[in-house]
């Protein structure tokens, strides 16, 4: 059975290798950092956290394998179907969302049968990028007016972002930035993009004013954003400053080669040490070497994304790879930047490294889509090689 699975693995082998290396590497830091959760909020059994992380990764790679076997042209139509589904899920999340590990935000919904929590905004991010790539490929090299693009393109984008914004500003900001970047790469007129950016800024200001005027509707959310920004720009002792200070202590303690696997001290002090701040724990245990390893892996992934995008046979394929791939790399860079205090606290996880099922699954979904695009290129190349073998005159002409 295993041989059959490996035989059916298609797509860019280097992307497969990067995803696998990141997943394997994640076990030790997650197991180490989870000890704090096990003893402070659990039964003291750290092995259960390792098993849970293993199951998340196993299901994630199963999703990646299944999705990469689907011809990527089908994602064009699926995005049209999934946008309304995602909007409904986001509305349900706003109405009955729950908090996880004390997080003061309605970001998750419970899956009744499986008794699992699911963060709908991560699914929305992938679906939205596929939808935008589909629309941009449709209007490529066509003269369109701004008015023509409002309903089919920007209305779904702003509806999705408006539903995520009250609970998760950082995810909303990243999604908006990625959509703007993708539309720019897709050839959308810059003058229209400036209008959209201006509209987005005005919408955010309007939302903040509403939230400040009616704090009982969205308690603490805007205050949380402001406190994170203020703690980043000032020396006040806040919860966010406490997290950053302990992250910096962990990084400084790691040095070049680190304290060694499982020997982190700050994991017992640093909140969210297995998710949001796992990069600091990795540097503490594996030093500068471990940090550079991750930076190289994500940079390598970015390089392969550009290669796969360039080699795609359609405009949709090119934009699809960039649309679902760039957010993975950008999220990784944001997570690392937060740990070294180059960016305010955002709550973004480290893709394929941090614990958390939804983040892993949606990252694997995005990588599966990328692999589907690269698999199609391999299929075309294989057919071209067969044609050349069947026509010896082509080979002779190349030789001459």
SS (H, E, C) 141-160: CCCCCHHHHHHHHHHHHHHH
Cα–Cα distance, 260 to 286 (Å, whole number): 6
Please report, in angstroms and rounded to a whole number, the separation of the first and last CA atoms in the chain: 46
Cα–Cα distance, 241 to 235 (Å, whole number): 8
Nearest to 347 by CA among 6, 98, 101: 101
Cα–Cα distance, 137 to 72 (Å, whole number): 14
CA distances from 198 to 150, 159, 193, 202, 205 (A): 14, 17, 9, 6, 11
Per DSSP bridges, beta strands 116-119 and 108-111 are antiparallel
Count CB-CB contacts under 10 A for residue 375: 20
* Tens digits of residue pLDDT in 60-78: 999 999 999 999 999 999 9
User: How large is the average pLDDT for residues 195-213?
Assistant: 88
Q: Residue 389 pLDDT more than 70?
A: no
Q: If pLDDT is split at 50, 70 and 90, which confidence band does 233 have? A: low
Owner of token pair 């955002």: 346
Six token digits for residue 213: 């005027």
Nearest to 165 by CA among 226, 214, 208, 117: 208
Task: State the pLDDT at residue 102.
Answer: 45
Nearest to 162 by CA among 87, 219, 59: 87
Cα–Cα distance, 143 to 265 (Å, whole number): 59
Q: If pLDDT is split at 50, 70 and 90, which confidence band does 321 have? A: very high
Q: Residue 187 pLDDT more than 50?
A: yes
- Rounded to the nearest 10°, the torsion over CA 70, 71, 75, 78 is -60
Cα–Cα distance, 44 to 67 (Å, whole number): 37
Task: State the pLDDT at residue 397.
Answer: 46
């Amino acid at each position: 059975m295993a041989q059959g699975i490996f035989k059916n693995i298609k797509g860019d082998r280097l992307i497969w290798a990067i995803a696998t290396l990141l997943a394997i590497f994640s076990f030790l830091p997650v197991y180490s950092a989870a000890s704090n959760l096990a003893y402070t909020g659990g039964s003291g059994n750290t092995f259960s956290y390792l098993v849970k992380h293993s199951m998340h990764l196993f299901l994630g790679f199963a999703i990646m394998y299944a999705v990469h076997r689907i011809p990527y042209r089908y994602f064009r139509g699926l995005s049209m179907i999934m946008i309304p589904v995602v909007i409904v899920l986001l509305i349900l999340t706003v109405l009955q969302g729950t908090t996880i590990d004390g997080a003061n935000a309605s970001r998750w919904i419970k899956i009744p049968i499986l008794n699992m929590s699911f963060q709908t905004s991560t699914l929305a991010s992938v679906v939205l990028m596929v939808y935008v790539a589909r629309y941009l490929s449709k209007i490529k090299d066509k003269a369109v007016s701004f008015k023509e693009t409002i309903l089919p393109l920007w209305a779904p984008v702003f509806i999705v972002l408006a539903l995520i914004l009250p609970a998760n500003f950082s995810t909303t900001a990243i999604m908006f930035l990625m959509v703007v970047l993708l539309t720019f790469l897709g050839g959308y007129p810059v003058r229209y993009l400036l209008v959209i950016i201006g509209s987005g800024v005005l919408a955010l200001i309007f939302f903040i004013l509403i939230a400040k005027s009616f704090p009982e509707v969205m308690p603490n959310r805007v205050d949380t954003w402001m406190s994170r920004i203020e703690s980043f720009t000032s020396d006040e002792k806040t919860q966010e400053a406490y997290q950053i200070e302990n992250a910096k202590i962990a990084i400084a303690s790691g040095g070049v080669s680190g304290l060694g696997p499982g020997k982190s001290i700050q994991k017992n002090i640093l909140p969210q040490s297995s998710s949001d701040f796992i990069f600091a724990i990795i540097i503490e245990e594996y030093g500068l070497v471990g940090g550079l390893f991750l930076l190289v892996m994500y940079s390598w992934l970015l390089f392969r994304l550009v290669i796969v995008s360039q080699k795609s046979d359609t405009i949709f394929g090119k934009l699809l790879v960039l649309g679902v791939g760039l957010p993975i790399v950008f999220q990784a860079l944001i997570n690392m930047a937060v740990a070294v205090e180059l960016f305010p606290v955002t709550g973004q996880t480290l893709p394929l490294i941090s614990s958390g099922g939804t983040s892993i699954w949606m990252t694997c979904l995005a990588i599966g889509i990328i692999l589907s695009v690269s698999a199609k290129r391999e299929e075309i190349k294989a057919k071209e090689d067969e044609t050349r073998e069947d026509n010896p005159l082509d080979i002779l002409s190349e030789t001459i």
